């Protein structure tokens, strides 16, 4: 399913679009290194106050409709 991943820190959000075969549930851990390149992880790490750079926690999963198409929006909290 087409999925919008928002990697969120206290100061900013980083948006990535992926096709995920299944959707995670709220409060599950999400391995960030499986989805992002090292330079993308460093961008998120610079905006966080304290984050290991390896995993985030799913804060919300919402389904949206845009341009005659459904997609999921997942917010992943990237702070330890």
**Helix, strand, or coil (residue 53):** coil
Give 74's pLDDT tier (boundaries 50, 70, 90). very high
Does the pTM surpass 0.85? The reply is yes
- Looking at the structure of the chain, the number of domains it has is 1
Q: What is the pLDDT of residues 13-54, one digit of tens each?
A: 999 999 988 888 999 999 999 889 999 999 999 999 999 999
Q: H or E element: which one contains 23? A: none
Helix (H) or strand (E) holding 14: strand 13-19
Domain that holds residue 26: 2-77
Q: Is 71 exposed, middle or buried (0-12, 13-18, 19+ CB in 10 A)?
A: middle
């Amino acid at each position: 399913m087409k999925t919008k991943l928002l990697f969120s820190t206290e100061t900013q959000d980083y948006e990535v679009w992926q096709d995920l075969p299944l959707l995670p549930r709220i409060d599950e851990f999400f391995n960030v290194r499986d989805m992002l390149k090292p330079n993308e992880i460093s961008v998120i790490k610079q905006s966080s106050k304290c984050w290991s750079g390896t995993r985030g926690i799913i804060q919300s999963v919402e389904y949206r409709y845009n341009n005659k198409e459904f997609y999921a929006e997942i917010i992943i909290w990237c702070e330890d």
